[in-house]
Structure 1
Amino acid sequence: MIHAFVLTLLLVATPAWVTPPRLQEVETVLGPKLYRDGDVIEITEVLSTSPQLEQGDTVVVKGRVRLDSKVNATLSLLLTQTKGDGFEETEVSQTKSVSQGLQDFELKILIKHQGALHLTLYDTTTGKSFGGTYFGTAVQMANIAGWNLRYYLDD
């Protein structure tokens, strides 16, 4: 009798154990940003498994990108590590090829280190970054408020 009760309890509770955390809309703050003339990235929605946007969270960012300064680029959702070795594997879900004009995007990242999230445009030929924006919680953005992104404009 007790065994049947325990088995029933396990069968009922098991879905809660295997169900991944749900994505929910979270409020974010923009941090340092810099673009070439005509380029811009607009974040319209951020979904995350927690509002802290921290190590272990899955984050989905939706928005629009306008590319004017180049014919093609790669838009990437990445993390600049504030603690760690600086090395990061990039998943397919973190990048999107974009072409001149306005288009929507949806990118996804699993945060594997402590750091600051950013959306950045990269030259498809050289791989060099040429514009982007940091975003995160108010505390995260206060911690990086002084970061200089002038290198985005270097040729």
Structure 2
Amino acid sequence: MTRNLAVAFLVLTSAAWAAPPKLSPVETTLGPKLYRDGDVIEITDVRATSPQLEQGDTVVVKGRVRLDSKSAAKLCLYLTQTKGSGSEETDAAQEASVASGLQDFELKTTIKHRGVLHLTLYDAKTGRPFGGTYFGTAEQMKGIADWKLDYYLKD
């Protein structure tokens, strides 16, 4: 009987360990942003494992993107590190191919380093960024309020 209880305990606890993290709505503030004429990224929903949007949190961002300046691009949910080496591992859930026009998106990441999140459009051919927006907590956005994104508009 004791062995059966131990097996039942292991089965129940292993299921809890395997459960995905609980995501809750998070209030975010927009930070620096810059787009080419006709392009825009609109964030409609941010959910995360904590409202701090910090290292270790899983984040899901939903929204709409309008692409008018190019026929195709890659929309990415990335993190600009404020501490660390700057190198960042990525996975497929952080990126979406977008075509000219308006479309919905959903991107997901786990924050692996200290930094600030951004949604950025990258040229499908060259890989160069050409528009985007930073977002996060009000405190995070205060810390980067003076960041310039002029390089988005350089060809």
SS state at 2:127 partner: coil
Paired with 1:73 and 1:19, the residues of 2 have a C-alpha distance of 34
**1:143 corresponds to 2:149:** no
Shift of 1:75: 0.3
CA RMSD of aligned residues (A): 1.8
- Aligned counterpart, 1:94: 94
The equivalences for 1:24-63 within 5 A come to 24-63=24-63
The equivalences for 1:1-155 within 5 A come to 7=6, 10=9, 14=13, 15-155=15-155
Shift of 1:18: 4.0
SS state at 2:142 partner: helix
Shift of 1:50: 0.7
Q: Letter of the 1:97 partner, please give it.
A: S
Q: Letter of the 2:102 partner, please give it.
A: L
Q: Which string of whole-angstrom CA distances, capped at 9 and with x for unpartnered residues, describes residues 112-143 of structure 1?
A: 00000000000011110000000000011011
Q: Letter of the 1:101 partner, please give it.
A: G
What is the TM-score of this pair, normalised by structure 1? 0.92
Paired with 1:126 and 1:119, the residues of 2 have a C-alpha distance of 18
Shift of 1:7: 3.6
Pair 1:11–1:78, CA change in 2 (3 A): same
Paired with 2:39 and 2:66, the residues of 1 have a C-alpha distance of 5
The runs of 5 or more residues in structure 1 that have no matched partner are none
Paired with 1:19 and 1:99, the residues of 2 have a C-alpha distance of 35
Q: Percent of pairs identical after alignment?
A: 69
SS state at 1:90 partner: coil
SS state at 2:27 partner: coil
Q: Which string of whole-angstrom CA distances, capped at 9 and with x for unpartnered residues, describes residues 90-124 of structure 1?
A: 10000000010000000001100000000000001
